[in-house]
């Protein structure tokens, strides 16, 4: 790879570090400290999470309509995203937090879709698709950064300082990407007129989209409340922040590893394996709450959710290479819809059953439904394709 290719890819990694690893998921290790110092209830934590995911839904949906000036639009969104992180540590108003988490979510949605589309299209145009998995390592790298930094900073600067310092780090990453991409020309996208061959709502794609939405519904419960759940188990409290570090460390190399597997096995088989491991990881704390168990749960969570994002996004682009922005937007939108519902359902289950096991069980069932949808959809679409070929040959 040339220096320019590496710069484009590394800049994309940093964009996902900012938008996904920090802006979205730093909330998870900071939430227990906010709840303790500000007296936030489990429900209020869920509302803050859902505000972020509503914003993410809006951003992901809107990104599918951006065809021109993608790079400029992306960088502007990153700037607002960075500011939303920084100002979380400046105010103590719950309603301002709601607004800031919405802005963080909306800009994250735009950033994820546009960054994925820009970088994957760039790599494909230079015959470097095999390196696309490294892009999504930015999610895990950001999670690891927030997981390591929050417990280190919080004792001296409280949760407010954690947000402010993460905002400063995000600004630094934006500056680096701006420098790396300064001479890179990003081609405008072309709006593809719908036809039989370009309609994404046919074949296997709708099944993949529905499965991905159910995945968003299930995984986000663990992604939002994992650290808080561990923190509130007295015997496991020392492992709470460390569990998020484990999730980040597992997530950082996950995408390249999962993408390597599809060179030997079909994408659906690899995706199915990722779903199975994630279900195990989600349900482990339901059955036993030991330190090794919750840390293994965190590891499986980090390793699988980034893999599922990378595999699903890359597979959708493979099915519709001329509509990368549209298919990534469609996937990310249903994913975001699941993430809106997930924390609210988790809060209801926790309140009704008065146990963290209930929302985790619901999360496991949701991901199992995603796996079932994926397998049924693949079988149905393959059978339909064979029948079509048979009818054509006759």
Domains and CATH numbers, the chain: 3-188+196-393 (1.20.1250.20)
Whole-number percent of the chain with pLDDT over 90: 35
Inter-residue contact 310 to 138 (CB < 8 Å): no
Inter-residue contact 145 to 17 (CB < 8 Å): yes
0.95 surpassed by pTM:
no
Which tops the pLDDT comparison, 351 or 26?
A: 26
CA distance 336 to 61: 9
Residue 120: pLDDT band (50, 70, 90) is: confident
Average pLDDT, integer, range 250-272: 90
| pLDDT for position 236 | 81
Which tops the pLDDT comparison, 187 or 123?
A: 123
Average pLDDT, integer, range 311-323: 83
Question: Which single residue is written with the structure tokens 């994925």?
Answer: 116
| pLDDT for position 82 | 96
Q: Please choose, from the candidates 90, 110, 91, 89, the residue with its C-alpha nearest in 3D space to the C-alpha of residue 19.
A: 110
Average pLDDT, integer, range 120-138: 84
Q: What are phi and psi of 356, to 5 degrees?
A: -70, -15
Inter-residue contact 268 to 196 (CB < 8 Å): no
Mean of pLDDT over the chain: 86
Residue 86: pLDDT band (50, 70, 90) is: very high
Residue 382: pLDDT band (50, 70, 90) is: confident
Which tops the pLDDT comparison, 201 or 249?
A: 249
Does the pLDDT of residue 122 top 90, yes or no? no
Inter-residue contact 147 to 135 (CB < 8 Å): no
């Amino acid at each position: 790879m040339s220096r320019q290719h590496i710069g484009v890819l590394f800049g994309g990694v940093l964009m996902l570090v900012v938008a996904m690893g920090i802006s979205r998921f730093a909330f998870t290790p900071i939430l227990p400290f906010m709840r303790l110092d500000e007296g936030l209830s489990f429900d209020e934590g869920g509302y803050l999470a859902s505000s972020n995911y509503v914003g993410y839904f809006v951003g992901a949906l809107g990104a599918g309509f951006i065809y021109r000036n993608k790079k400029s639009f992306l960088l502007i969104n990153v700037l607002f995203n960075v500011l939303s992180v920084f100002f979380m540590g400046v105010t103590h108003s719950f309603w301002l937090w709601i607004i800031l988490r919405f802005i963080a979510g909306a800009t994250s949605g735009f950033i994820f879709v546009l960054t994925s589309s820009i970088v994957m299209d760039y790599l494909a145009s230079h015959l470097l698709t095999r390196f696309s998995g490294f892009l999504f390592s930015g999610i895990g790298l950001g999670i690891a950064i927030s997981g390591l930094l929050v417990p280190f900073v919080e004792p001296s600067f409280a949760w407010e300082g954690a947000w402010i310092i993460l905002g400063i780090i995000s600004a630094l990453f934006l500056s680096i990407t701006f420098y790396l991409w300064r001479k890179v020309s990003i081609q405008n996208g072309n709006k593809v007129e719908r036809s039989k061959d370009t309609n994404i709502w046919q074949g296997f794609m709708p099944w993949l989209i529905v499965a991905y939405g159910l995945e968003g519904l299930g995984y986000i419960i663990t992604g939002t409340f994992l650290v808080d759940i561990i923190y509130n188990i007295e015997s496991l409290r020392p492992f709470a922040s460390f569990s998020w570090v484990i999730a980040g460390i597992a997530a950082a190399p996950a995408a390249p590893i999962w993408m390597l597997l599809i060179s030997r096995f079909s994408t659906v088989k690899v995706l199915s394996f990722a779903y199975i491991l994630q279900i195990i990881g989600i349900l482990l704390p339901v059955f036993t709450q030991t330190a090794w168990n919750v840390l293994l749960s965190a590891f499986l969570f980090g390793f699988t959710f980034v893999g599922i994002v990378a595999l699903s996004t890359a597979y959708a682009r493979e099915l519709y290479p001329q509509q990368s922005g549209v298919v990534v937007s469609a996937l990310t939108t249903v994913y975001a819809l699941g993430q809106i519902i997930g924390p609210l359902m988790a809060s209801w289950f926790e309140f009704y059953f008065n146990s963290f096991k209930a929302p985790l069980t619901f999360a496991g069932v949701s991901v199992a439904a995603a796996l079932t949808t994926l397998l049924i959809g693949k079988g149905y679409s393959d059978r339909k394709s064979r029948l079509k070929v048979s009818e054509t040959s006759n």
